[in-house]
């Protein structure tokens, strides 16, 4: 099994690197903002017996280590994403699609605000909600 830099994060932690966890990491590096269900489906193509419970347990560990970012919103399952490059999200209120945006200016301002309010360990992943161009234009 080849060990990516992402796997290394797990190895350095107190957690074991199992084939299930490696498969979750692989699934995450393939796609963006995936639901647990989607990750489960992808992992199953290689490991048909993996349970959804294991997916959730793994994602929680990866989040605790800081390898994964989680996004929650009203009326749907949470989305998970490899925490490689920090970025923000545009969430369509109509079709629930997620799009990544890089905006350091936004991060800097947000970080300043939180710092001045006495916050530490600041996570600057912001979600801007709106109606995407596809949903706005007539069919």
Give the integer Cα–Cα distance in Å for 132 and 68: 26
Given the rule CB under 7 A, which of 25-33, 76-84, 112-120, 121-129 is the region that contacts DNA? Answer: 76-84
Is residue 27 within the footprint of DNA (CB under 7 A)? Answer: no
Is residue 119 within the footprint of a copy of itself (CB under 8 A)? Answer: yes
Given the rule CB under 7 A, which of 44-52, 90-98, 102-110, 125-133 is the region that contacts DNA? Answer: 44-52
Is residue 51 within the footprint of DNA (CB under 7 A)? Answer: yes
| C-alpha atoms less than 13 angstroms from C-alpha of 41 in its C-beta half-sphere | 7
Residue 67: exposure state from Cβ atoms within 10 A (0-12, 13-18, ≥19): buried
User: Do 32 and 80 touch, CB atoms closer than 8 A?
Assistant: no
Using CB under 8 A as the criterion, which residues of the chain lie in contact with a copy of itself when the complex forms? 70, 72-74, 78, 88, 90, 92-93, 99, 101, 103, 105-106, 109-111, 113-114, 117-133, 136
């Amino acid at each position: 099994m080849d060990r990516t830099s992402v796997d290394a994060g797990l190895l350095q932690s107190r957690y074991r690197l199992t084939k299930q966890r490696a498969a979750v990491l692989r699934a995450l590096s393939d796609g963006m903002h995936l639901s647990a269900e989607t990750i489960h489906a992808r992992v199953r193509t290689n490991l048909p017996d993996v349970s959804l419970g294991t997916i959730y347990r793994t994602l929680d560990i990866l989040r605790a280590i800081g390898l994964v970012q989680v996004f929650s919103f009203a009326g749907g399952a949470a989305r998970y994403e490899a925490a490689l490059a920090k970025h923000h999200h545009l969430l369509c209120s109509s079709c629930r699609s997620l799009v990544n945006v890089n905006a350091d200016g936004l991060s800097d301002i947000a970080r300043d605000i939180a710092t001045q309010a006495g916050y530490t360990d600041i996570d600057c992943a912001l979600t801007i909600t709106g109606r995407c161009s596809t949903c706005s234009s007539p069919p």
